[in-house]
Chains A and B, each alone.
Chain A
Amino acid sequence: MKRRRLLQSIAALPAVPAAAQSYASSPAAAGEMPKLGEAAADAVAAAVPRFFTTDQLSALRRLAGLMVPKSGDRPGAVEAGAAEFLDFLISQSNAPRQQLYRDGLDRLNAGKPFAERTAAEARALLKPLHEKWTYHPPADPFARFLREAKDDLLQATMNSREFAQAMSRRSRSAAGLGAYWLPFD
């Protein structure tokens, strides 16, 4: 698919469902194979969280909002469904990573649900993120969790459909296009 057409399709998908596009196009010549438009699952449906507990997911959503807030027409992590995506990603990850996330979210919820913390209280809990970068991850698992969650939430936001749609309205170069290698036979 050409770059311009792909960008147009990303921008157009939520507004014009695939079926409507098919009806709108003129009939193909006999013998010519049509190119049918399609919509990805997360453009038409909400993913069902399966991994974190309700409390953990609430904490992760709050953390997402603090890590990558919405700004103008640029979606933040909440709008990009980054917490819900990480529920899926971590569910498929190795056991140590799963434990790091579960323990980290439980620590955020300790004493009082993180989602109910005031902005000042929440920011105080995230203090380890102001530590200078070191090659080796911090020894404290909670600090390590925050460092990983910061990177993961940023990436999950910036690589989201919502982010691509917002950015493609601003710039042709912001959709994160790449050459995808199909599986070998």
Chain B
Amino acid sequence: MAKTYDVLIIGSGAAGGMAAWVLARGGADCLMLDAGPLIDYDKQRVMKAVSELPYRGFGKPDRFPHITQASEFDANMWADEQENPYTYPKDDPYYWVRIRAVGGRTLRWGRASWRLSDYEFKCRDHDGEGANWPLSYKEIAPFYDRVEPMFHVMGRNEGLPQMPDGKILADESPDSESVKRFRAACQKRGIPHTKPRRATGTLASSYNLLLPQALDTGKLTLTANAVVREITVDPGTGLANGAIFIDRRSKREYQVKARTVVLGASTLESVRILLNSTSARFPKGLANSSGLLGHYLFDQFYVKNTVVAIVPEARGGKGGRGLMGGGGYVPKFRNIQRNEKKFLRGYAWDFGSGMTPSPRYLPLFGEELLREMAEVQGAGFSLTTMGEVLPKKENFARINPEARDHWGIPSLHITHQYGDNEFAMARDAMETASQLCHDAGFQVLAAHSQMVPPGESIHEIGGCRMGADPKASVLNAWNQSHDVKNLFVVDGSCFVSGGVQNPTLTILALSMRAGEYILDQRRKGNL
């Protein structure tokens, strides 16, 4: 007879991993389920030359139509799109990028670790658009303070209100001359700039930084290959009492019991599980009395390689480490004062120096192309835009009963479009970045303002947004369902607004905060 756990945690990435780290160390008897396998890094990877791969590095054609990040080397790591289908409106593709393995997408994240500020938490107070979060920066700051050292975040504190300082390792590395030139061009126009701020270490994942310590307590049991179909509810009390999952390999069905359920399966998977958790008591899905479950889905738009340029002095192999290399970050600088621009909110840039521009930017072929490629080797400078997306109710995910996955579980139909505000912002980013590159004396090879399709940034957030009003939100300020008090959703789906900052650090901080709240409520007998 299976036992009843104190807490069932669904998902093992940043959200689930942190919840387990807090709850198991706090003495709760936890079971963690993950839809993917538990990988063994030593056995799962082998070194190969690209020429040895069957498709010479191109990858099997059309295996991943929506995962542009997949290469032939790591193709087996990404969620297979045939096994895990989903749909979207015909002319509005959505790129849903998933990893199904213990550790989730923290196995492959970009590691950029910026705090949100009250420009996000209290965004409506600032410019009248959207909704405020039901918490402030001051309330979450102590959790950022603890998460950053755990993930060995390195960067530079600049004292900017839109980019709060952190408890981070100081990056004292010198900038190359090309980076200094770009930063000076920013400085001249009053645009802030800083070093990158990233989690460091060989692997900065839930897999190595959270789960080992949680498992060491003896209070956490981890079950991999468990594809959760739905959260179950006690029809008498209306409380969550466990989940039904399907073994990934055998397709055998299981039921598990728990007193509290913590959902951290990732933004869209959590929405999907809740919408699939229908019952007589919750016919529209669990935690959906507001009717807003799945709505206000958004992300951050990316304009990849907004500008690609050459540093002329570095041509012909003259770059060297003093001139080329390194990179930096320009935090949001538009609309820091109210209504500075014709669009709301702002964007940030990641920039890098020292790469070789892709031959596609060189309008040449044959010997001329090969000569020019040699000439510009290591002389490139490029910049990518990350822009804030306004959350809209009409951007949403719903269940599509026709699209079932390999395990027979209904999948999502995802509707997400960018609007005029995002397009205007992207154009401004391209024009301003091009000007800065010119100011820095770089030769601009290419500039564009074309956003990648929604979802491709892998920063999808919203869908279970927090709020003080149960009629206008899904979760309260503690990531707790307004409707089902022993159900918590601790991943990016809780976001109310997202700024331009990569969301993982905030997910970690919020999950830590929610985990401690659960422990406190358990002690008080409220859960």
Contact = CB atoms under 8 A, between A and B. Distances in A.
B418 interface: no
Contact of B367 (A71, A132, A177, A181): A71
B39 A184 contact: yes
B251 interface: no
B39 A135 contact: no
A155 B51 contact: no
B359 A89 contact: no
A126 to B, nearest CB: 6
B49 A66 contact: no
Nearest to A7: B49
A175 B49 contact: yes
Interface stretch (B68-76, B164-172, B259-267, B333-341): B68-76
B47 A180 contact: yes
Interface residues of B, number: 44
Interface stretch (B55-63, B145-153, B294-302, B321-329): B55-63
A156 interface: yes
Contacts, number: 131
Interface stretch (A19-27, A50-58, A108-116, A146-154): A146-154
A176 B445 contact: no
Interface stretch (A28-36, A99-107, A158-166): A158-166
Contacts of B370: 68-69, 71
Nearest to B73: A178
Nearest to A71: B370
A135 B450 contact: yes
Interface string A77-110: 0000000010001001110010000000000000
Given A67-B365, A94-B62, A6 B49 contact: yes
B49 A10 contact: yes
Contact of B76 (A130, A136, A183): A183
Place the interface of chain A in its size category.
35 or more
A129 B58 contact: no
Contact of B61 (A92, A134, A155, A182): A92
Nearest to B75: A181
Contacts of B420: none
A133 B50 contact: no
A3 interface: yes
B57 A176 contact: yes
B76 A126 contact: no
A185 interface: yes
Given A133-B360, A150-B359, A179 B73 contact: yes
Contacts of B60: 92
Nearest to A162: B51
Contact of A69 (B48, B73, B366): B366
A133 B446 contact: yes
A111 B370 CA distance: 30
Chain A CB within 10 A, most for which of B43, B52, B53: B52
A184 B446 contact: no
Contacts of B51: 10, 159-161, 163-164, 175-176
Given A93-B61, A179-B73, A159 B50 contact: yes
A179 B45 contact: yes
A59 B62 CA distance: 25
B141 interface: no
A40 interface: yes
B492 to A, nearest CB: 24
A38 to B, nearest CB: 10
A181 B15 CA distance: 25
A124 to B, nearest CB: 13
Contacts of A69: 366-367, 370
A73 interface: no
A1 interface: yes
Nearest to B225: A185
Nearest to B74: A181
B223 to A, nearest CB: 15
A121 interface: no
B364 interface: yes
B46 interface: yes
9 contacts: A2-B47, A6-B48, A92-B60, A130-B363, A133-B361, A150-B359, A164-B50, A177-B50, A185-B37
Given A129-B364, A150-B359, 6 more contacts: A1-B46, A68-B370, A160-B56, A175-B51, A179-B73, A185-B37
Interface of A: 1-3, 6, 10, 40, 66-69, 71, 85, 89, 92-94, 97, 126, 129-136, 147, 150-152, 154-156, 159-161, 163-164, 175-185
Interface of B: 36-37, 39, 43-53, 55-58, 60-62, 71, 73-77, 101, 249, 359-367, 369-370, 445-446, 448, 450
